[in-house]
Amino acid sequence: MRTINLQNYTCQLLDEFGNPKEATYFVKDSLVNLLMHADLGLNGVELLKRQVFASKILTSKDPDLLIEEEEYNCLQHAIQTIRGFSRNDVELVQRIMEAKQVDVEIKRET
């Protein structure tokens, strides 16, 4: 399993006059958009599977989300496939690429 940081961060945008201004980068929404991006060419079944993961992201109350390896692979595939990232996306891509592996012990009742 891996853990990924879901906390929003600040990025720089230009206002209508070309002046820099700070804006919030919404991490949860961005991750969900990555998962379901049209460039991935998902079929209906794949889309529905990813919706389960998307709900897990959107409803998480924790700043760090524990994800299965298969879920991590979906995010990694997305950032390797989708084109058009910009400077404001660097931190999000780094969070995905550097998601820490976590050993989880599953206790079974006997």
pLDDT digits (tens, 9 = 90+) for 26-47: 999 999 999 999 999 999 999 9
Q: State pLDDT tens for residues 67-106.
A: 999 999 999 999 999 999 999 999 999 999 999 999 877 7
* Domain segments of the chain as ranges: 2-100
pLDDT of residue 37: 97
Are 78 and 34 in contact, with CB atoms under 8 Å apart?
Answer: yes
Q: What residue spans of the chain are helical by DSSP H? A: 27-35, 44-59, 69-81, 90-97
15, pLDDT greater than 70: yes
- In this prediction, residue 110 has a pLDDT band, given cuts at 50, 70 and 90, of low
